[in-house]
Structure 1
Amino acid sequence: MFQSILSNLAIILLTHLIMSMLMHYRKRITSFTYHTLSIILVSCSIIAMFYLPIRFGDFWLDMRFIPLVFFAYFHGWKIAISSLIIAGFWRFLMGGDGMVPGILFGMIGPTLLALAFHSRANIESNYLEKLSLLIGCWLICDIPIIFAMPNGLEVFKDIAFIRSISFIITGIIWYIFIMQNRQLKYLYDELEKQAGEDPLTKLLNKRKFFDVVTDKVKSLKPNHYIAMVDIDHFKNINDTYGHLIGDKILIDVAHILKDYETKFIQVGRYGGEEFIIYIGNTTNEDAKKLIEQIHKKIKEHEFIIDEYQHIKITASIGLASLEDNSTLLHTVNKADINLYRAKQSGRNRFVCS
């Protein structure tokens, strides 16, 4: 019996390990692929338990509901219901006297109960509720034994302690692993975000900007543009009002540019007082109009120095299109040259090519 319990536990932990790997690579695969592989994984783990039953005297039981309950509770209906249908159909094909109650009470009932609590899955501190849910699912599975078998109450009493303890311990172990994975994912996402984010303006830094825009150039339609934006006389602002005010102006300009971000427009900080903008899937005229709007917005915006003093600033902008058989780096260089021309022409203007 204990060997069978450990076998079921091993299947559950292996399922968790493979699911963790899937979640790690989730950003690299399509949503359809992720959900399809998840459904196959959960279905296979449940079906494997059909062939590794836990023997209690003359009765054969398993832990099939645990993967369904956990995936329903933490991931929602898409994975849980699909896996339930596949595993339920497999159990139907296997036949046997326990087929109908096994599907209804061992799979459908616990899954629906877990789905009812799915919206509360992120409330990490409510441990009593989670434990109660697990016990409730176990009772849905095993209480029918009382009514479906001869001497059902006696059988239930004989197996209740071992069944409940094995379910609770397995559930706690899996829950701990899931929480550890979530914490590791959170830390990984934070590190990834910080590695690609400018700490002052919260825009993409140069390295991350190039990574993101490279992907956009590959996936979006032709006609891509790069604009370089430079705040005019920024050194004078720092010398006159101090570097803290200079930083505040950089943040305010970043907010202005950030408001224009869409699927086809990406903003980053290039360095110092320079910002970089990607514009995709547009025409030359529309790209120019957008830059004119940004130029006007910066020019008309009042930047707060203190409670009594506001100032206005201007910016110079260079715009360049990504030509066929050219590279992103070459286009950035062209935009930078146009920015230099704008500054040489008296600043507060934009030059395009």
Structure 2
Amino acid sequence: MKLYLLLKKSIIRGYKNVKFHLFETDNVLIYWPNFSKGILLLGFALLVLMGHLSWYVLNYHSENRIWLNEDYYDYRVFTTYCQILLTVVVSCITFLFRRNRLFRKFMGWFIPLYFGCLLIYSAQTVGIYSPAAMAGIVNILLIGFVFYQPKVIYSIAVIVTVYVVAICYLTSIDVMPYAPLFSEQLNQSNFYKNEFWMKSMAILYIPILIISALFFEILLSQWRRKEKRIETLSRVDSLTEVYNRRYVSDFLTSLYKSKDSKYSVILLDLDFFKMINDSYGHDAGDEVLRRVAKILKSSMRYHDVVGRFGGEEFILILPNQSLQLAVEIADRCRKAIHNEAMLLPNGEEIHVSASFGVAISENGKTMHDVIREADQALYRAKSLGRNQVCFLET
């Protein structure tokens, strides 16, 4: 029972690790080291080889046996098992010497070459000119050009091309049999009218198609996640997780361009914030800023904007809000900040306060005019003793 639970836990942990590295990490597959890409390729190679072996054995022991070359069966099964064993051995060696820098560099180049040669050998057994073979080769090249640097994939492409040309030439002069996997009866028939051959081409190509689709899905998933994160970072202040000044400016611009939109702006500045940094350290100051940001966000409507305007200064933008209600909201935020016990990293609790300035977009004011009035009102609140809300009479 304990062994079962341990195995179950290991499988779950392994699944979560794979899921994280393929779909949840910000480290996009295309930027992985070639060595790490190679490990992924080895896993896919094993899946393809086992799929081909299963297809071959199942068809041989069915009514489709007449379409397969019985003299070639034992040899092909043996070579496929050898390929699987060799791939497992390569995987084990890769794991054992994974910390060696020169080995990692070599395997980053060798594994995609090995993967390509495995598939080309399989393609030769079903006919190098067959749809499954041609489509598979094209797909592998596309994967290579997307995921690997040109110097790697071009050097591999040269070797693979020589290999393919050699197979084609030897086949054309009857030194190598064409499609030795299939019986003479099938090879002499009209391929495209043979239902077994048509299904075989589709089934043999499907694993390559799935691999290609999976590779690109992994890439796109990681890329979308990275793009989303970049977009978020471009709009959000990393410390406080409220909007940054750039986003605030863009949002105000959009409100200003919408001529019929009225909005209020609240500027607030933490009182004596420099004293907090000097007395308790910058970690304490950062914690205070984060806590204030949370208070502000919890006090706003879902469509209001909370932003960090710089340093210890925050800005609140309230679309379609009157000056009177904006002042009431500012005072509610002021009280919430003043009453909050800020727990510092050292375990000590302190109380802070903030001064607020409020302005509203009226009488054709530009967004710069509104911010300037809010800033003047904030300066007035500070000059009157701090920890209060002010607005300019218009």
TM-score by length of structure 1 reads: 0.52
CA contact (8 A) 2:323 2:358 kept: no
1:232 is the counterpart of 2:275: no
Give the Cα–Cα distance (whole angstroms) in 2 for the partners of residues 247 and 263 of structure 1. Answer: 25
Of the three residues 123, 146, 160, the one matched with 2:199 is 160
**Partner-residue secondary structure (3-state), 1:333:** helix
Q: How many Å apart are 1:156 and its aligned residue?
A: 3.8
* Rounded Cα–Cα distance in structure 1 between residues aligned with 2:202 and 2:325: 67
Q: How does 1:1-353 map to 2 (within 5 A)?
A: 155-216=194-255, 222-305=261-344, 309-353=348-392
Change (3 A) 1:221 1:256: farther
Q: For the residues of structure 1 that align with 2:343 and 2:259, how far apart are their CA atoms?
A: 38
Tell me which amino acid in the other structure corresponds to 1:182. S
Q: Does the 8 Å CA contact 2:305/2:316 hold for their aligned counterparts? A: yes
**Residue identity (%):** 31
| Higher Rg | 2
Q: How much is the aligned-residue C-alpha RMSD, in angstroms? A: 2.3
Partners of 1:184 and 1:228 in 2: how far apart?
Answer: 37
Is there any run of 5+ residues in structure 1 with no aligned partner, and where? 1-153
Deviation readout 1:200-252 (Å, 9 max, x if unpaired): 21221111221234335556963201111101111122222222211111111
For residues 269 and 258 of structure 2, the distance between their equivalents in structure 1, rounded to whole angstroms, comes to 28
SS in 2 for 1:184: helix
List runs of 5+ in structure 2 lacking aligned partners. 1-192
**Per the alignment, do residues 259 and 219 of structure 1 end up closer, same or farther by CA in structure 2, a change over 3 Å counting?**
farther
Report the alpha carbon displacement of residue 193 of structure 1 after superposing the two structures with TM.
1.9
* Residues in 1 aligned to 2:342 and 2:374: alpha-carbon distance in whole angstroms: 26
What SS does the aligned partner of 2:299 have? coil
Three-state SS of the structure 2 residue aligned to 1:259 is helix
Are the structure 2 counterparts of residues 220 and 300 from structure 1 closer, same or farther at C-alpha, using a change threshold of 3 Å?
farther
Amino acid of the structure 2 residue aligned with 1:280:
P
Q: Calculate the TM-score normalised by the size of structure 2.
A: 0.47
What CA deviation, in whole Å up to 9, does each residue of 1:238-296 have, x standing for no partner? Answer: 22222221111111111111213434310111111101110112222222221111111
Match of 1:84 in 2: none
The whole-number CA distance in structure 2 between the counterparts of 1:325 and 1:319 is: 17
Cα deviation, residue 341, structure 1: 0.6
Which residue identity does 2:217 align to in structure 1?
I
- Structure 1's 166 and 328: CA in aligned 2 closer, same or farther, altered over 3 A? same
Report the secondary structure of 1:326's partner residue: coil
Once the two structures are superposed, what CA deviation does each residue of 1:122-163 show, in whole Å capped at 9, x if it has no partner?
xxxxxxxxxxxxxxxxxxxxxxxxxxxxxxxx9542321112
CA distance in 1, matches of 2:232, 2:264: 25
The one-letter code matched in structure 1 to 2:226 is L
Cα pair 1:265 1:277 within 8 Å, conserved: yes
Paired residue secondary structure (1:228): strand
Counterpart of 1:321 in structure 2: which amino acid?
I
- Report the Cα offset of residue 319 of structure 1: 0.5
Is the partner of 2:356 in helix, strand or coil?
Answer: strand
For the 8 Å contact 1:221–1:280, the answer to whether it is kept is no
How big is the shift at 1:338?
0.7
CA positional deviation for 1:335: 0.7
> Is the contact between residue 266 and residue 326 of structure 2 (CA under 8 Å) also seen in structure 1?
no
- 1:220 and 1:281 in contact (8 A); partners too: no
Equivalent-residue separation in structure 1 for 2:258 and 2:295 (angstroms):
26
